[in-house]
Every structure is written in structure tokens, then in C-alpha cells.
Chains A and B, each alone.
Chain A
Amino acid sequence: MSSCIGATLFAAVVVGTYALYRLDPWANRGNDSPTRSALDLQDQFSIQPQLIHYLQTSEIPIPLDVVRAIAVGLEDRIYVAGDRTVYRFGSDGAGEVVLHTDGEPTCLAIGFNRHVAPGTFYVGVGKAIEVFLPNGEPLAVWHGLSDKTVLTSIAVSENDIYAADAGERVVIRFNPQGEIAGQIGRTDPDREMPGFILPSAYFDVAIGPDGELYAVNPGARRIEEYTSDGMLEGFWGKAGTAVDAFFGCCNPAHMAILPDGRFVTSEKGIPRIKVYNGFGEFECVVAGPSELGVRDSATVDARLEKNTQVFDIAIDSQGRILVLDPNTKRIRIFESRQEK
């Protein structure tokens, strides 16, 4: 009997010691499962070459540490906001600082020829819009936004300035004097306005060739058209994994409109820049992940901080698509293969 007890105790000590050795209180060994959730997106990362109708023709390095937004101004000059400045590039690629902002800029727009103040800079900085003359001199700072304001995009029409506020989930319409003239897109069941769905701080607005306002509703994966008084005129866009749809929780992240009224969209997650016609029908791809230098990968890291490949876009008068690459700190210029 005593030998049985002794053997039992010996076995218990051995097994217990082994279990103690195998204990992983700091979870260093994990649980033998993949370290984190991942989606197999090999198919979505690879884009059929025949769908790509654009070609990168040049690129311009940006001497800034952080690049936030890109815009095209008068005479097709390219402007990039970042590092508390707005940087201007000439046609030869040479650049200069044109103005300094009070804080880190988040979005940028420049008055075009038919705007009431051509060449004026509108820079979203924190919870205000800083306005600068074409020569870079400060003109005004438009306050009056809420504490929750997160400015993500600015667009200018002939007479108005529209600012996308991801914090309040509305587009704010300013008059040229900086007074708030209205809000667009606020949830209103009486007017059957579902409102903007913004799971993340990507909320872009743009002005069409005829002055109509387009706003991305990323959570709904669509682009909506509004009148200047906030009536929803229409929308297009569908969610899905196919190349003609918008993928993920909230896309597109950025949008621009070609001179002929076609749309250019930029998606995050799986970085894809695509062209849609004026009816929202898919036309072609400008650049996919490999063209944008994003590592071809079968998986996408679900963590937000890993998804840094968000490419802002702008269009010049020749229809060239300017892509702001935050990873390489470069402006990638794409031109249509046919026109080329």
C-alpha cells in the first residue's frame, strides 16, 4: 500500500513539475494559434493587369516628415500639407514652403479660378480653418466649430467652402466671410436623411464640375450627392470584395473628381485607386497595391495602427491623378495609358 502511495506521489510530483514548467503565465508561448486574426486577401490584392488603365509617369519627393493632404491650385501647382506647413511644387518638381500653420494641418483646399477668392488657401488645423492669401499671408481663422470637430476634408465651390467634420458627422458650409451658412448630412428622420456613417476619421468631400457637392459616406460604402442646402440628390456605390465595389468597413477614404465629371476613389485597407463614371459605374483601376508599393501580402493585419497605407488623391486640369504616398513621402503622378 505504501509503495502505491509512494509511486502516486512520485508521479504527481513529476507531472506537477512538468505542468509547472509548461505554465506560461506571461503568455510568451501563446496558444499555438496564429498570433492575430488575419484574412486571406490574396485575390483582392492582385488586380488583373487589363483593368489597370493608368501608368505612373513620374514622382516627386516631398521634403516633409509627415504628409497629410494634397491639393492642386492655380496653374496646376501641387500643394502638400504637413509638418505645420503647406509646401508648393512647381512643374519642375522644385518645392518651397508657402505658408506656416498654427498646428498640424489635416486637410487642404485652394480656391480655383471661378472661386470668389482664387488662390486662397483653406487649411484645416485642429478645430478651425485657417485661411491664407495666395501669397501665404494669414487672412483669417474660422472658429465656431464644436469640441468634437475633426476636420478631414475641405472643398471649395464658386461661392462656398465646405468642410467635412468627421467628429460631428456633417459637412459644414461656410460663406466666403467664414460664417457658417448651413450643415449638410445631419441625421434627420423627418427628411429621411440617414446621416453619415463614419467608423473612422476618413470623410472626404469634393465639388463636381457643375458645382454640386459630393461627399463620401464611408460606412455605407457609397458616394452621395447633395444640393447646397443639404438635400440628398442621389448616391452610388456598393460594398463587396470585387474590384468594382468598396471593401471593408468604411471606404472609399478619399475621392476626387476628374474634369469630365468622372470619379476617382482611393480605398484604404487594400489600397486601390479606381475610376468610376459619372453614374458610378466602375471603369478602371488607376493603381493597385503593387503599383502603390504596398507589400504584396496574403493577409491584412486587422489592427488599425497597421493600416497606414491611406493615399490622398488630387486631380490637375489635365486629368492627371496625383497620389500622395505617405509611406515613401512622394507624390506619384498617374496618367491614362491611352492618352499617354
Chain B
Amino acid sequence: MMWFFRYLLPWILAMAPAALTAGELIPTPEFSGHAIPTTEFPEGPADWRPILDTAALVVALSLASYFALVNRSRRNLLLLTVGSLCWFGFWRGGCVCSIGAIQNVSLAAVDPTYAIPVTIILFFLLPLVFTLFFGRTFCAAVCPLGAFQELICVRSIRVPRWLDHCLGLIPYIYLGAAVLLAATGTAFVICRYDPFVAFFRLSGSANMLLFGGCFVLVGLFIGRPYCRYLCPYGAILGLVSSVSKWHVRITPTDCIQCRLCENTCPYGAIQPPTIDQSPADRESGKRRFVALLVLFPLFLVFFAWLGTFLKVPLSRLHPEVRLAEQIREEELGIAEKTTDASDAFRNTDRPVMDLYKSAIARQNHFGRLGGWLGAWVGFVFGCKWIHLSLRRRRTDYRAERSNCVACGRCYRYCPNEQLRLGFIQDISELVPEENGNLKNEDRRSKTKD
């Protein structure tokens, strides 16, 4: 035995690398007796899974609406948030999701050859329907992206109103770009740039994880940054929610204007009562409104013109245009190496000029579409300005319908809610008499946006 370890084993170890290098560069495959396997096709997702997902969505939406509007339970909403995050986020890997479904629906709307699954249509429509009746309860505790951000929002700071308004325009612009790119078959950018999908799937490129990590870091201090400043589906839901039949209310009964809730919303969705305007202010507001209405078409035209300059950058997102550019660089000797796409193209025997013509036509098409995208941006800006110029009368503290995500954080700050739940016997236990029913002068400083 010792002889083996002392002499034979070192000899074997020393010879092994030599045997590898002196032998074949590619190990000889042993085919003898090998049975060629029959081609097998992987099974698609089980039939029951889309049904289960859709059923889970309906149940989650129903529960979220019940917890937010009837039960008024923040704890139940949080439990549902965790459940949705686990199901739609980690178990289903963030797909299918209602946000990304915008792109499928857009493509299906313009391309009759694109077969869109019923599940995706339902994931797109069901939250809209629920929002139409109950407000953004989908955002409250069903959307996995919203759930993720809801759970990490531990120390929120208030975003200045002007910045909030400016950043709040981005989702609409993103929506327009995403629809345009999806409808042209260029790319599903919402999915490609989803900052949380890498966490849901526990994998992703370093840059993707870094991008998502930064979102998480921002989300610790600024509530739901993706929902408020990026989510295109949130933009649609916000519009639908503004006309919803029912909506989350801060107080279960009448607002006593105690101001205990006014700083509780980390998303800046609580609006204080308005003050009465002086006749002079009202008159100048009317003039500003009329001026904006007159300028509105000019806005559209100006931004549409600006959008035509997006022709080149937008078209470069399309694979055919990118391929044409790669082929051109190869033809001119600029490209250092070929790509798989360019190799595949050359194997098709398709004439290069044919590709160039197609790419140029597509680029011109993107020039027109860029104009439409610019017009959309102008429309969004114009509507925002008009919206800001409108004066509305509010007598209570209210959750702004379009921005409120029905998270239920504000409930427990309301004395009436505490009373309803039996935590206090009388409102005066929480609110000194002089704090209720504030005078107009006291509110004035709080209501100027």
C-alpha cells in the first residue's frame, strides 16, 4: 500500500497532464452503440397555471379592494402585499405582469398576426376595471413591484411639490415611448428595464442588479419611486382612478380637519382643504387658463416638431436598423468583428442594398412616429399645466384620487378611525378642541402648492 502512495500515485499524477496534451485536442466522442435520441419539444406552461394566475389576480384585487375600502385594515393590506410579492413576484418571476401587458396589448392592437394570450389581456384589463370602481387597489397590495417598494419604504422624506409634479410627468412619457416601441415590434422596453425583475428571479446582469439596488436605496427614503415617477401602468391607473366610483377615504366619517393625517402619506397624495380665492385671484386664474388653452395646440405642434428629431435614436432600437448599421460598418471596415446577427444575415443571401432600403424606410417611419411621440409629450405637458391652473374646492383633507395608491397608511392617524375601532372613547382624547375645525387663516399656509 505504501508503495502505491510513494511511487505509483506521483507517477500517475505527473503523467496525467502529459497524457492530456499529447492526446487529442478534442476528446474523441465514443459514438459506438449510441442511440440517437428522438427530438423532444419542451412542454409549454401547464394549462392550469394561467388560470391559477388569473384567479389569484381576481382574488387579490377583490381582497385589496375589500381591505382598503370596507375593512380599512392596513395590517390586512400588508399581509396581502407580502402574499402578492411572493406569488406574482418571486414565484412567477414578475411575469406576467400588468405593467408589461401594456406592450403586448399595444402590439396586438396593430399587428393582427401577433397572438396575445387571454391571460395577458386579463392582466391588463382586470386592474383597470377594479380601479374604475375602487381606485388604485391594484397598486395597494397586488402589483409585485408596488408591493416590493411598499415594504422597503421605512423612512420616507417629502419630495418638494415642484419636483414631484415634474417627475410625475415621466410615467406618461414612458408610456408613450413604450407603446410606440412595442407597437412597432421594436422592443418591450418596460420589461427590459424593469428594475426589480432581477430580484424576483434572483438573477440578472451586474448592471441590472446595480440599477435595481439603486432603486431600492432610493425607495428606502422616497416612497414608491417606480410607481410615482416611472410606472406607465400607474399613469393609466391614475387617470382611471380619478373617475372611480368609490375611493379610499382617510376618514370613515366626516373630516374634522385635525391635520393629524396631512403628513402621513409617504407618497404625497393627501391634499389639504383649499382656501377661498379673492375675486382678483379668480380673475387672473381664468385668464391664465384661457391663455393655456390657446397655447395648447402650439404646444402640440412644437413638441411634435421636436419629436421628429428622435428619428435616429428611436430607429436604432429596432433590430433591423441596428443590423443595417452593423453591416454598413463591416462593409466599410469600421467594425472590428462581426456579430451573430450579421453572420446570420449574410447566410440568408439577402442583398445588402435591400437591407439598407428597408432600414431607411423604417427610419423614416420612426421619424413620423417620433413626431407623434413628441405630440404626446406636448399633450402631457399642456394637460399638466392646465390641470395645475384649475382651482378646485376642497373642504376636507382628501387622498388625491389619481395619486393615492390605497395603501391605508393614513387610516390610523384619523381620530374618527380610532373612534370607529374603539381605541378611543372620544375624539377629544386625541385632538384638543382648538385643533379641530381650523380657521381659514391657519390653513392658508398649508394649502399653497
What residues of chain A have their CB less than 8 Å away from a CB belonging to chain B?
2, 5, 8-9, 12-13, 15-16, 18-20, 22-26, 28, 35-36, 39, 41, 44, 194, 197, 199, 219-221, 239-241, 247-249, 303, 305-306
Contact = CB atoms under 8 A, between A and B. Distances in A.
B254 interface: no
Interface residues of B, number: 34
B231 to A, nearest CB: 16
Interface of B: 23-26, 28-29, 31-34, 155, 157, 187, 192-193, 205, 207-208, 210-211, 214-215, 217-218, 221-222, 319, 322, 337-340, 343, 347
Nearest to B28: A239
Nearest to A5: B221
B157 A5 contact: yes
Contacts of B187: 25-26
B24 A23 contact: no
B208 A23 contact: yes
Contacts of B218: 9, 12-13, 16
B210 A15 contact: yes
Contacts of B24: 239-241
Q: Which 7 A-B pairs have the closest CB atoms?
A: A16-B214, A19-B210, A25-B192, A19-B211, A197-B31, A12-B217, A12-B214
Contacts of B205: 23-24
A24 B207 contact: yes
A248 B210 contact: no
Nearest to B210: A19
A97 to B, nearest CB: 24
Contacts of B338: 35
Contacts of A36: 340
A241 B22 CA distance: 10
A35 B337 contact: yes
Contacts, number: 82
22 contacts: A2-B157, A5-B155, A5-B221, A8-B217, A9-B218, A16-B218, A18-B210, A19-B207, A19-B214, A20-B193, A23-B208, A23-B211, A26-B319, A26-B322, A197-B32, A197-B34, A199-B31, A219-B31, A241-B24, A248-B26, A305-B343, A306-B343
Contact of B214 (A13, A22, A24): A13
Contacts of A13: 214, 218
A112 to B, nearest CB: 34
A65 to B, nearest CB: 11
Nearest to B336: A35
Contacts of B337: 35
Contacts of A249: 26, 29
User: By DSSP majority rule, is chain B's interface helix, strand, loop, or mixed?
Assistant: loop
A8 B215 contact: no
A36 B339 CA distance: 9
A16 B229 CA distance: 14
Given A2-B157, A5-B221, A39-B25, A305 B347 contact: yes
A194 B207 contact: no
A219 B31 CA distance: 7
Nearest to B211: A19
B339 A35 contact: yes
B336 to A, nearest CB: 10
Contacts of B343: 303, 305-306
Contacts of A240: 23-24, 28
Given A247-B26, A248-B26, 5 more contacts: A9-B221, A18-B210, A35-B339, A41-B25, A241-B26
A249 B339 CA distance: 25
B275 to A, nearest CB: 29
Contacts of B192: 25
A36 B207 CA distance: 23
Contacts of B214: 12-13, 15-16, 19
Given A9-B222, A28-B322, A221 B211 contact: no
Q: Which of B31, B32, B215, B343 has the most CB of A within 10 A?
A: B31
Given A20-B211, A35-B339, A194 B33 contact: yes
B155 to A, nearest CB: 8
A16 B25 contact: no
A272 to B, nearest CB: 15
A28 to B, nearest CB: 7
A23 B34 contact: no
A265 to B, nearest CB: 17
Contact of A194 (B32, B208, B217): B32
A18 B208 CA distance: 11
Nearest to A197: B31
A198 to B, nearest CB: 9
Contacts of A9: 217-218, 221-222
B92 to A, nearest CB: 21
B54 to A, nearest CB: 28
A41 B25 CA distance: 9
A125 B429 CA distance: 98
Contacts of A239: 24, 28
B154 to A, nearest CB: 12
Contacts of A23: 193, 205, 207-208, 211
Contacts of A2: 157
A19 B338 CA distance: 26
Nearest to A301: B343
